[in-house]
């Protein structure tokens, strides 16, 4: 009876979850990446629901029926109560199978279809078609974006805001992030100070922003819409206030916005450092001169630490 009830409830639960909850699970379906993450989430839910139902039902059974108040004979100990080969072997077998399947599925979902949108470090092992080429070209600083080609966006995090550079549009820097629809987007995420995390929730993208490191993440946009960017790695006092909003525009609207911003910002852009995957602000800039400037050679302790006694 227990198993029949469990099977029925699980199937019903799975169907209900798939039909009614599934379409609304995060991160939504604004991009192909988000959609594939959402699919992954829902597959896990399909496994979670029967497990939760099974264990909770068992606990409920125990509370209801295997209770001292129900009376009946005392349970009999001995070998039968200690071990049950069928139960043990099938439990271990089934959990192992489920776990191995999920690990395999997760690995598959990581690279196949549209990727996961997670930060893949400076040398991604997986990238969508054309992305690497676009990135290599963008690094030279004199490529430009054409509709249908991957767009390269550099995300620069610092305490406590995100700015975005568009190397295919003359490397202008903006506090506004807009991206075109139906396009592969290459995010190059880096930081100027501490570790931040670029989390574009609706895009299904999350990548840590590390100082001195170019962390690459990909997504592929579908229709237009808006999204929120939040910092998801504690970065100091105003971590909670580090967010902004972005838009997925139609390709022509994006082209217009980017070109006009490039022109409007041209005066500022020429004062920016040349486009690069990472930037090294002075380590002493924000820290108030903690480390001695430059590489002291020849080394003398007194230059590093100063004199041992306070200057009179």
Partner 1 sequence: MTISAERPVDVVAGAPSLPVSKVSWTQRPGWVSQHLGTAVVMGFLGYVFGHWLGNYIASGYTYVQNTGQNNIADTLALAFMVLGWLLGIGALNYPLLKIVGREPAEEEIPIKHWSRFFRFSLDHKVVGLQYVVGVLLFMFTGGLLAMAVRAELLSPTFHLFSADTYIKIVSEHGTVMMMMATSIIVGPLGNYFVPLMIGARRMAFPRIEAFSFWIFTAGYMVIFAALPYGGFPTGWTGYAPLQTQAGPGMIGYLLGFAVIGTGMIASGFNIGVTIINYRAPGLTWNRIPVFVWSILATASLLTLATPVLFVGGFLGLLDKTVQTAFYVNEHGGSAYLWQNLFWFFGHPEVYIMALPGFGIAGELLPVFTRKPLFAYKVSAAGMMGVALLSFFVWQHHLFQSGINPDMRPLFMLTTELISIPTGFIYLVGLGTMYKAKIRFRLPMMFVMALFFNFLIGGVTGVFLSDVPVNVTVHGGFFVLAHFHYTIMGGLLFAFMAGLYYWLPKMTGRMMNEKIGKWHFWTMFIFFNLTFFPMFFIGLLGQPRRVFEYASNLQGLNDFASISAFLLGVSFIIFAFNLAWSMWINPVKAPANPWDSLGLEWQTASPVPHDNFERIPVIMTDPYRYGEPDAPAFADLGVAVGSNSHEA
Partner 2 sequence: MSELTGSRISPEEREYELRAQIGSIWSGGRLFIGIYTFAIASLVFTYFYLRSTNSASLWRTPGETAPVAMGYAIWICTLLVAFLANYGRRRLRAGFAQDFVVAGWTATGVGLLGLFFQIYILTQVPFYPGANGYSSMFIGYSIFNIGTLVVMTYWIETTTVRAMRVRRELGGDKPELSKHEMAQLFRADVASMVYFQGFIAVAATLFLAMFYWM
Cα separation, 119 vs 124, in Å, equals 9
Residue among 110, 132, 139, 253 that touches partner 1 (CB under 8 A): 110
Among partner 2, partner 1, none, residue 298 binds (CB under 5-8 Å by kind): partner 2
Residue 19: both structure tokens together: 């039909």
The smaller minimum CB distance to partner 1, of residues 222 and 230, is found at 230
The smaller minimum CB distance to partner 2, of residues 127 and 210, is found at 210
Instruction: For residue 219, list its beta bridge partners.
Output: 185
Cα separation, 232 vs 195, in Å, equals 10
Cα separation, 121 vs 189, in Å, equals 9
The three-state DSSP-derived secondary structure of 167-227 is: HHHCCEEECCEEEECCCEEEEEEEECCCCEEEEEHHHCEEEEECECCCEEEEEEECCCEEE
The smaller minimum CB distance to partner 1, of residues 79 and 140, is found at 79
Query: Is the preceding omega at residue 228 within 30 degrees of 0, hence cis?
Result: no
For the bound state, the minimum distance from the C-beta of residue 222 to partner 1, rounded and expressed in Å, comes to 17
Residue among 197, 221, 251, 258 that touches partner 1 (CB under 8 A): 197
**139 lies in the binding site for partner 1 (CB under 8 A):** no
Cα separation, 115 vs 129, in Å, equals 11
**19 lies in the binding site for partner 1 (CB under 8 A):** no
Whether 197 contacts 174, CB under 8 Å: no
The smaller minimum CB distance to partner 2, of residues 148 and 306, is found at 306
Query: Is the preceding omega at residue 257 within 30 degrees of 0, hence cis?
Result: no
Residue among 138, 151, 156, 231 that touches partner 1 (CB under 8 A): 231
Nearest to 128 by CA among 63, 192, 184, 187: 184
Residue among 72, 299, 309, 310 that touches partner 2 (CB under 8 A): 299
Q: What are the backbone angles phi and psi of residue 82, rounded to the nearest 5°? A: -85, -40
Q: What are the backbone angles phi and psi of residue 10, rounded to the nearest 5°? A: -65, -45
Residue among 26, 93, 106, 292 that touches partner 2 (CB under 8 A): 292
Residue with tokens 């009614």: 20
In the shown chain, the binding pattern of residues 173 to 212 toward partner 2, with x for contact by CB under 8 A and - for none, equals ---------------------------------------x
**188 lies in the binding site for partner 1 (CB under 8 A):** no
**280 lies in the binding site for partner 2 (CB under 8 A):** yes
Cα separation, 115 vs 204, in Å, equals 10
Among partner 1, partner 2, none, residue 299 binds (CB under 5-8 Å by kind): partner 2
For the bound state, the minimum distance from the C-beta of residue 266 to partner 2, rounded and expressed in Å, comes to 32
**235 lies in the binding site for partner 1 (CB under 8 A):** yes
The smaller minimum CB distance to partner 2, of residues 236 and 292, is found at 292
The smaller minimum CB distance to partner 2, of residues 25 and 278, is found at 278
Window 29-88: residues binding partner 1 (CB under 8 A): 36-37, 40-41, 44, 47-48, 51-52, 55-56, 58-59, 62-63, 66-68, 70, 72, 74-78, 81-84, 87-88
Cα separation, 70 vs 310, in Å, equals 82
Window 263-282: residues binding partner 1 (CB under 8 A): 280, 282
- Binding residues vs partner 2 (CB under 8 A): 212, 280, 291-292, 295-299, 301, 303-304
């Amino acid at each position: 009876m227990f198993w029949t009830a469990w099977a029925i409830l699980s199937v019903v639960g799975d169907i209900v979850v798939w039909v009614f909850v599934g379409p609304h699970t995060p991160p939504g379906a604004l991009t192909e990446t988000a959609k594939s993450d959402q699919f992954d989430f829902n597959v896990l839910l399909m496994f979670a629901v029967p497990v939760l139902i099974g264990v909770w039902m068992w606990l409920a059974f125990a509370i209801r029926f295997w209770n001292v108040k129900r009376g009946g004979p005392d349970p009999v100990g001995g070998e039968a109560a200690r071990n049950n080969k069928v139960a043990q072997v099938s439990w271990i077998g089934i959990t192992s199978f489920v776990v191995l399947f999920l690990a395999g599925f997760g690995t598959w979902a990581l690279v196949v279809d549209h990727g996961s949108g997670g930060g893949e470090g400076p040398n991604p092992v997986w990238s969508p078609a054309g992305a690497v080429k676009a990135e290599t070209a963008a690094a030279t600083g004199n490529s430009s974006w054409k509709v249908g080609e991957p767009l390269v966006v550099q995300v620069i995090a610092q305490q406590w805001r995100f700015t975005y550079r568009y190397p295919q549009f003359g490397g202008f820097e903006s506090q506004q992030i807009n991206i075109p629809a139906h396009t592969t987007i290459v995010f190059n995420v880096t930081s100027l100070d501490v570790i931040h995390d670029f989390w574009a929730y609706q895009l299904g993208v999350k990548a840590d922003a590390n100082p001195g490191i170019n962390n690459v993440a990909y997504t592929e946009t579908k229709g237009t819409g808006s999204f929120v960017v939040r910092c998801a790695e504690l970065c100091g006092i105003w971590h909670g206030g580090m967010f902004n909003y972005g838009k997925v525009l139609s390709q022509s609207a994006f082209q217009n916005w980017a070109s006009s911003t490039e022109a409007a910002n041209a005066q500022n852009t020429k004062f920016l450092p040349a486009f690069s995957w990472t930037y090294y602000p002075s380590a002493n800039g924000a820290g108030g001169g903690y480390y001695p400037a430059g590489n002291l050679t020849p080394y003398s302790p007194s230059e590093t630490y100063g004199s041992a006694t306070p200057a009179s």
